[in-house]
Amino acid sequence: MLRPLITVALAVLPAAALAAQASQPAPAKAPAETVHQEAQAETGQPPKRIRSVTLSGTEKCPPSTSTEVVVCNRIDPNEQYRVPKELRRPPEVPAKNQSWVNRAQQQDEVGRTAGGLPNTCSAVGTGGQSGCAQMNARQWYLERQAIKRAQQEGTNPPPQD
């Protein structure tokens, strides 16, 4: 008994939806936009020029023509003359791209620490505690730099132990 009702409903609903859609008027387009679209449709060619415009404040986007598309974007007036955040800090140079002087210095540091030489803060050999003050001062300086860098970028500083 339910099957005939379902089939009738499925047959009638699409027809009613099409009738309601046909009775609604189409949204009107701006006359300039229509003219440009019609001109482009007649030629079948893409626009000859695409122009990107950066606006600030209350500037208005210039209108596009049949041969030109204008793409507008707005920037914050406070960030108008600043270097983008991605480019403000130089990227870290990977070890394979560093100069041989830096690599040799790093190898020398590792060798001194592992060998227990003086001023290395090593518990092995004659190094003893002579280099611990230097190591602690260097570590403190690097932590302060990381905190300052984080504050400049507006992020939270790394947790300290």
Over residues 9-32, the pLDDT tens digits come to 666 666 655 666 656 655 555 555
Residue with tokens 């939270």: 156
Q: Other CB atoms closer than 10 Å to residue 127's CB: what's the count?
A: 19
Q: pLDDT at residue 74 above 80?
A: yes
Q: What pTM, to 2 d.p., does this model score?
A: 0.32
Is 61:55 a contact under the CB 8 Å cutoff? Answer: yes
Q: Let me know: does 147 contact 157? Beta carbons within 8 Å.
A: yes
pLDDT in tens, 116-126: 666 666 666 56
Contact of 158 with 150, CB cutoff 8 Å: yes
CA distance 131 to 106: 16
- Using an 8 Å Cβ cutoff, are 135 and 109 in contact? no
Paired with 72 in beta bridges are: 53
